Every structure is written in structure tokens, then in C-alpha cells.
Chain A
Amino acid sequence: MIAIDKLTDVFVAVADTLVADFDIIEFLELVAQKAATISTASAAGIVLADPTRRLQFVAASEQSVRLLEALAVQSEKGPCQDCFHTGEPVVNTDLRDAEAQERWPAFADLAVSMGYESVHALPLRHQGTAIGALTLLSVHAHPLEDAEVRVVQAVADIATIGILQERSIRASGVLTEQLQFALVSRISIEQAKGILSRIHGVSVDDAFTLLRSYARGAGLGLSAVATEIVNQPERHPTLTRPSV
């Protein structure tokens, strides 16, 4: 049973994000978190397609090295890859099933070893094609009814709206431009996490927390700060000087 009462929260949170200082990665992470909450899944992740139609990780409900790995593996062979190709949701898959084991052996093994039992994948749709996918992983198998799938699909659609909202539809290429920008922003954040992790001697997950608190405290976008940490660390001395 999904937490339909939490749906209002999503719209409020999304509306808040859309007004000022929009950061595409922060937005997509928020959507992932809300998608996990509503579907009562344990974790959620979003992947987007690059122009060669290869899926790349862009956001997750939590920062965890293993979750990122699972999302990367399933981008190559997994439910989100299947969902992306067909444009249809792949729901209610039991990861311990022989079928799942056979279709996505690497992903199923990894996800089961992380304690997940079921997976759902919903397409991010735009004008009849999939531009990415939302994946939900659960430690308890809890089948989604058709009506519930539609609600979770609506949350996936919000991700697409966010990707497109930053600029008006000016040219046919705008979606490609936006998708590429999101993917590049994600990479900047990972590079900055690596840098901060070494400077402060903390895990990459903790480095992300540092980065996010700093960006929020300074009223700056996450991606913008990450980019400067990589190229001009001296602009953020309080974050890039080793702590004592």
C-alpha cells in the first residue's frame, strides 16, 4: 500500500524547489526521496539517457556507494534498462525470482546481497519516448496495484517536468541540452565529493553532506559549488582547507 497521503508533500516540496535557485541535481534527489517515501520503498534512484541512449546515474534518495553501484549495474542490465527501452513500467519484480535472476543476474545478486527483495522501474517520459527511469528498491516485497503504479508514475513525470522547467521550450534541442547538463552536474558533484573526502579525511558520503550543508548555508546551488570546488577551490576556503 502506498502512502498516498504523502503526495501533497511532494507537490509542496517540488513547488518550493522550482521557484528560486533551482539546482537540477538537488531537485532530482528530492524527487527520488519523495518517490521512495510515497511508494514506501527503501531506496530510489534516477538515471537519465545521454544522446547515445546510454543510461547514467543522476540522483538517489540517499548517498550510498553501494546504492550507486546497484543503480549503475542496472543501467547496463536491469529493470530500469528494460523500462527505458520499452517505455513501460516494470513493476512488482521479486528479485529472488528465477526470472529476475536470469534476466539481470548481476543486478539481482547485488540487490539481494544488499537486502532488497523487490524492484520497480518507471519511465521518465517525454513526448512518447523515455528519457530516463526512476527505480524503487524495497527490502519488503509489496506489490503495487494499477492505481498505485499511476501515482508513482506521476512522481516520475514530475522529474521530467523539473528537467524541462529550467528554460522554456525554445528549440527542439532543449531536452538534450538539459539532460546533458544534469549528467555533467552529477559528475561535478562526484568529483567534489572525492576532493572533500580527501581534504577532510571522511567518507565520500560524509563529503556529500559537507558539500550540501555548505551550499545551503551559503545560499548557493549544489552543482555550482561543486564546480568551483574542482576548478577554483580557493573561492571556498572554509570548505577546502583541511579541518584541524
Chain B
Amino acid sequence: MARVLLQLAEEPLPAGADGLVSTLTRLCAALVRHLPAAGSGISLMGEGHGSAGVAAAAGPRSRRLEELQFTVGEGPCLDAHAARRPMLEPDLAGAGSDRWPIYGPRAAALGVRAVFAFPLQVGSVRVGVLDIYRQQAGPLSPEALASGYTFAEVALRLLLQEQAGASEGRTPEGLDDALAYRMEVYQAQGMVMVDLGVRPDEALARLRGHAFATGQDITAVAREIVDGSLRLTRDHPPLVPEDPA
């Protein structure tokens, strides 16, 4: 994770863009630079809130490839989101075209031979999908697969941060360094949802905010919530001021 954040930091800022879209675009560009990939894109899927659409892309025709799935209504990114699992298709012109008869041949016509889609999700909370495109058929190496997964984790954290309204003034360096939380964190997340009446993404942000504010790690905070010694309240000062709306 640290390496991906470094690669992200090294990626030059695109002209005329800032905020989350700029960061996600740089993330896609860093992915294309460091992985054996011709292109990469991130689409938001919006579950109950926010809209579905292409958030960022890098590499030739990547944006068109991302949009293609929304246009034809099928493709690895939509399936990865629906099935909550990665869709790794090493042969888009062959088996991939059986899998997605409309999308497959059209994507192949745009020069893509393999596509790897990673859902951006924390358990039941889904925000989008990261796609990796290659111009050669064949699977990703285990190393490239692990890197792709890590890039997806970074994209997820950036999006969760944004959705919780906590992105202002925070840098990617402020992201959790752990890819995997302990199970107590997820249990506590569910508890905070009920206690505060908030969505799962905000509950996670509150947990992280409390951990940050009190200088504890998130697992310690979660453990206190699960064993009943801590209960976050609505009055708990959030880490950053909430949007008045």
C-alpha cells in the first residue's frame, strides 16, 4: 500500500483538475505506468446514493471502454459490482465474448484483449469498480494481480473518504495503511450505523475519525465499541466539519 501511495504521489497533476477526480485520474495513470497495463478506469456504481458513471480513466480509449459498459448494459465492471467479486477475463475476444456477447467484441475492436475488474467494496458497502485493460490476451501475473488489488484498495479508501465528506484537506497519505481490518472493526461499523443512524461508509469514517482524534488505532476503538465501553454519539465532534446541507 505504501508503494502505491508513493507511486500516486509521484504522478504529475493533470492540468485543470483538482479534488477527487484528479486524484483518481492520477491513480489510474500510476497504475498504467507501474503495471503491465494499457489502460485503467474507475467507475462509480452508486448504491442508493450518488450516480453511476465513469469517474476517472487513463490510457488510450480507456474512458470509451468504461462508458461502453454503461452504454451496452453489460461488461466485467457491471458484473464485478453485481456479483461482489473480481471479474478476471484474460481472453476478451474468446471466452470473454461468450460471457459478454455485446460488450466483448466491441471492447476487442477498441484494441483490448484482456480486462480485469475489481469491485471497490468493504463487505456490503460498494462504491465502484476499478478496471485494468491490456492489449495482450493472458492472465495477470500474481505480482500484477496483487498490485491491481492494492490499487483498488487505495481507490476504495479515497472514495470512502470523499463520501463521508472527509476529503477536504486530507491527503492520500492520511489513508489507513492496513488493507485488512480485524473483524471487530466491521462489527463496530454495524453498531455505529445503528447508534448514529448513518450509512455504512459514514460509520466507518466515524470510527476512523475517532481513532485519529484519540490517537488510537481503529481496531482498539472498535474493540471498545464491541465490548460496550465506548459508544459514539451524534454529538461526537466529527474530525472535519460536516457539510451544512
Contact = CB atoms under 8 A, between A and B. Distances in A.
Contacts of B125: 191, 230-231
B47 A173 contact: no
Given A176-B88, A180-B86, A184-B85, A198 B191 contact: yes
B25 interface: no
Interface residues of A, number: 42
Contacts of A69: 182, 184
- Among B140, B149, B191, B195, the most chain A Cβ lie within 10 Å of the Cβ of B191
B164 interface: no
Interface in A168-214: 170-174, 176-178, 180-181, 184-188, 190-199, 204
Contact of A72 (B47, B149, B182): B182
5 contacts: A56-B180, A191-B186, A193-B190, A195-B193, A230-B125
- Among B85, B95, B121, B180, the most chain A Cβ lie within 10 Å of the Cβ of B85
A190 B190 contact: yes
A50 B179 contact: yes
Interface in B40-93: 47-48, 83-91
A55 B188 CA distance: 21
A186 B125 CA distance: 13
**Interface magnitude class on chain B:** 35 or more
B213 interface: no
A231 B186 contact: no
Interface of B: 47-48, 83-91, 95, 116, 119, 121-125, 139-140, 142, 145-146, 148-150, 179-180, 182-184, 186-195, 200, 226
A180 B120 CA distance: 12
Contact of A230 (B86, B89, B190, B191): B190
B182 A204 contact: no
A147 interface: no
A170 B179 CA distance: 28
Contact of B88 (A52, A171, A227): A171
Given A173-B89, A191-B125, A192-B124, 8 more contacts: A52-B146, A53-B146, A171-B89, A174-B88, A184-B119, A191-B193, A197-B191, A230-B123
A193 B83 contact: no
Interface string A56-85: 110000000100110010000000000000
Nearest to A57: B183
